[in-house]
Structure 1
Amino acid sequence: MVNAILSKSWFPGSDRWFWLLQFGGWAGYALVNYIGSLMHEMRDIYGVVLILGAYTGLFLTLPLRYFYQRVWEWHPLLLMIVVILASYTIACLWAVIDNATYWEIYKFGFTPDSKLAYFKNNIAKFYIVLSWSGLYFGIKYYRMLQSEKQKALMASSMAHQAQLKMLRYQLNPHFLFNSLNAISTLILVKDTEIANKMVNRLSHFLRFSLDNDPIKKITLKKEVEALMLYLDIEKVRFDERLEIIVDVSDEAKKALVPSLLFQPLIENAIKYAIAKTEDQGVLSLIAYIEHGELKVRLCDNGPNAPEKPELLMRNAGVGLKNTRERLSALYGDDFSFRMTKNEPQGLCVEIVLPYETLESV
């Protein structure tokens, strides 16, 4: 019966746990008080009073939950004061309703033995409501910590998976074949200087790929430098057909980003856009800081771009899907990843991340 009431269709997610603890906790409170009343040989009808008292406490604490959700991010000291005042207000209201219940059932209200009797009754109720508030915050903080731990574990797992996928990109036979073939051609035409530069760039890029832990973040400046190593290799392949535009503000260069974040996106652009264009292919990378966020825009001028690029996200390829999943694991909901149409032709990938620097972490 309880499972049916607390089913997913009724109370999704954490709501099920709240209602389970809410009903279970107040039922336990009524049971403990009822057992205590038996020891003092109270009248049977007193059990009804206890049940009504627990019922009142259950419903009076419900508004506290939604109130606490609104003030959750307040300063800790202010939050503590607000919690104490809210708990005492609910306790006073509870005491008034309890007194009315006594009057209706026993035909007498709460008769104080001294002037402090009402205050003591309120304080007793206050301790109960304050305990409820403490449990609420304690459980919520515990669940948040568990969620953060789970997110960290998920981020670690996703990052390692991303690393394996990145290495598959960087070390796949097609990529190495194109690079080595370009170097071989340079050697045949005795352009040894450029061939030597190509070998150096290839070795530096592969070394960067292997040395950088995808869990850790690097500055955007280093990320762009690694990306340029990769693009320099591709430029030899496409010769004059590939133009690269990089516009990164000085402030954005300090931003921390996951290592090798842009490489699979650029590789997708080269494979599906630049390689298919008969004219000069253009790849642009623009990054800047706005409203405390890092905004990055990667664009190409490839032909045959869909009218609604966002539809590509539904059937995203490995590169797009991997990047989006990696960002989700690292940032939760605190990021944006979307595709738009470039003008006059081509596609753009727009990424928005929190602005973090080495000084801020």
Structure 2
Amino acid sequence: MIDPFYRLLQRLFQQSGIPLTPKTFWRYSAWFWGGFAVISYVHYTIWELLTQGSMYYTETWHWLVKWILWWATSPVILWAANRYPISTDQGWFVLIRRIGTHLLILSLLSLGMICLEYLAVWRFYELETRKAMPPDQIIIWFFSRYSLVIAIYMLVVVGYQIIVASYRYQALQKQALQIEMTVEQLQAQLDQAQLQALKMQLNPHFLFNTHHTIIGLIVQHENKKAIAMLTALSSLLRSIVDHTDVQFVTLTEEMEFIKSYLRIQQIRFQDRLDVAIDLMPETLDCTVPQYILQPLVENAFVHGLEKIASQAQLVISASRDDDQLIMKVQDNGPGIKGEISRSGVGIQNTQRRLAQLYGEAAELNYCQTLGGGTTFIVSIPLN
């Protein structure tokens, strides 16, 4: 009885996403129809005893055959529920047509089961009661049970669709969670890749100038300055290597990197560069994105201080404003002409990093003084 429906059930459960095997289905189905059978048997027995005063054994056999047939034809009902789902998604006309299809299927199914019941019962009935059971009894059973058959059939159809919808919703939730986790992983990888790209981007231009400066110092026999620049460069590169996978550092650690960078620039500018660092004590342990200030400081040199012949001035400051950390990089260069996005790739990268890490909670702005010079202002939320 089970083998003919094995592939049908297997295909149905695969399509619907219900984690059942055919063997498990038959077990659950037996409990389902068994519950109906027990309730109906108690009801029918009480009715017969109250109205007839007794009950034939044939009627018990008939009851057993009837519910075994319901249990055996369950796959057919599930197939119909899967093939003709009842919903208004495709319009009322389709819904009415599918309800009509189900009425036809349940009518044929009911008629077939009643014919099998008749074949299984009529001979026992005649032997026990010594009365004939004419074939007309098939029609009587069919119409007397029709409303109950509709109720049971539609209960199975609707119940199956509810279970399918539930499992599909759970599957979609699981899929959405997996997608969200994948997106977060990709975002983390993207952030890390952008951080590495930032490191690679700031190195070539800076290393090129530093290399030529060191050669020039050696040619001029300025060996102490050349050694000092090489030492500062070594410290700078070691910091990059040691913090390859680090996304956030304290402001103190960030400034150590900046100071190594500035030591090299001070040797390059010789006595023409004045640097002032003003960090409020309460900001030193604040967490900041690694290398968040370096592009701003580099921008101050490339687009500002290297373009003037007078005394170059650079001021780096940090303070707290409620729950925000405010960091400023100010130079006395010629200023930025046009939009902030034209001030360099490093500034654009910094804007993107802040947006990815903090969303709208972080800002990068700039302002210019009347006498020239540019001040970049970074505002990030405190952790």
Aligned to 2:192: 156
Task: Tell whether the 8 Å contact from 1:251 to 1:289 is kept in structure 2 after alignment.
Answer: yes
Deviations 1:120-172 (A, max 9, x none): 99987765564454334322211111101211232333333333223323422
Deviations 1:227-257 (A, max 9, x none): 1122122223334432323233334322334
The one-letter code of the counterpart of 2:88 is Y
The one-letter code of the counterpart of 2:204 is R
Name the CA shift for 1:347/1:122 in 2 (closer, same or farther; >3 Å). Answer: farther
Aligned to 1:331: 357
Mapped pair 1:207 → 2:242: no
Mapped pair 1:55 → 2:88: yes
The one-letter code of the counterpart of 1:163 is K
CA distance in 1, matches of 2:166, 2:212: 69
Give 5+ residue unaligned stretches, structure 2.
1-14, 17-72, 104-146, 150-154
Mapped pair 1:145 → 2:181: yes
Aligned to 2:37: none
Mapped pair 1:270 → 2:306: no
Task: Tell whether the 8 Å contact from 2:251 to 2:287 is kept in structure 1 after alignment.
Answer: yes
Aligned to 1:219: 250
Task: Tell whether the 8 Å contact from 1:179 to 1:233 is kept in structure 2 after alignment.
Answer: no
Aligned-residue offset at 1:213: 0.9
Aligned to 2:222: 187
Aligned to 1:317: 344
CA distance in 1, matches of 2:363, 2:210: 26
Length, aligned pairs only: 269
CA distance in 1, matches of 2:159, 2:323: 46
CA distance in 2, matches of 1:123, 1:249: 67
Bigger share in helix: 2
Aligned-residue offset at 1:41: 11
Aligned-residue offset at 1:208: 2.4
**Match for 2:213 among 171, 175, 178?**
178
CA distance in 1, matches of 2:305, 2:292: 20
CA distance in 2, matches of 1:156, 1:283: 30
TM-score (norm 1): 0.55
The one-letter code of the counterpart of 1:338 is L
The one-letter code of the counterpart of 1:317 is G
CA distance in 2, matches of 1:326, 1:38: 57
Identical positions, percent: 20
Larger Rg: 2
The one-letter code of the counterpart of 1:309 is E
SS of residue in 2 equivalent to 1:303: coil
Mapped pair 1:39 → 2:76: yes
Mapped pair 1:343 → 2:343: no
Mapped pair 1:301 → 2:332: yes
CA distance in 2, matches of 1:215, 1:176: 27
TM-score (norm 2): 0.53
Name the CA shift for 1:246/1:184 in 2 (closer, same or farther; >3 Å). Answer: farther
Name the CA shift for 1:175/1:324 in 2 (closer, same or farther; >3 Å). Answer: farther
SS of residue in 2 equivalent to 1:340: strand
The one-letter code of the counterpart of 2:211 is L
Q: What is the correspondence of 1:86-165 to structure 2 with a 5 Å cutoff?
A: 127=163, 130-165=166-201
CA distance in 2, matches of 1:294, 1:122: 59
The one-letter code of the counterpart of 2:240 is S
CA distance in 1, matches of 2:78, 2:196: 66
Aligned to 2:31: none
Aligned to 2:267: 236
Task: Tell whether the 8 Å contact from 1:340 to 1:350 is kept in structure 2 after alignment.
Answer: yes
Aligned-residue offset at 1:221: 0.6
SS of residue in 2 equivalent to 1:176: helix
Name the CA shift for 1:290/1:182 in 2 (closer, same or farther; >3 Å). Answer: farther
Name the CA shift for 1:261/1:182 in 2 (closer, same or farther; >3 Å). Answer: farther
SS of residue in 1 equivalent to 2:318: strand
Aligned to 1:19: none
Task: Tell whether the 8 Å contact from 2:77 to 2:157 is kept in structure 1 after alignment.
Answer: no
Task: Tell whether the 8 Å contact from 1:292 to 1:354 is kept in structure 2 after alignment.
Answer: yes
Name the CA shift for 1:165/1:213 in 2 (closer, same or farther; >3 Å). Answer: same
Deviates more, 1:146-155 or 1:261-270: 261-270
SS of residue in 2 equivalent to 1:55: coil
CA distance in 1, matches of 2:232, 2:276: 19
Task: Tell whether the 8 Å contact from 1:334 to 1:354 is kept in structure 2 after alignment.
Answer: no
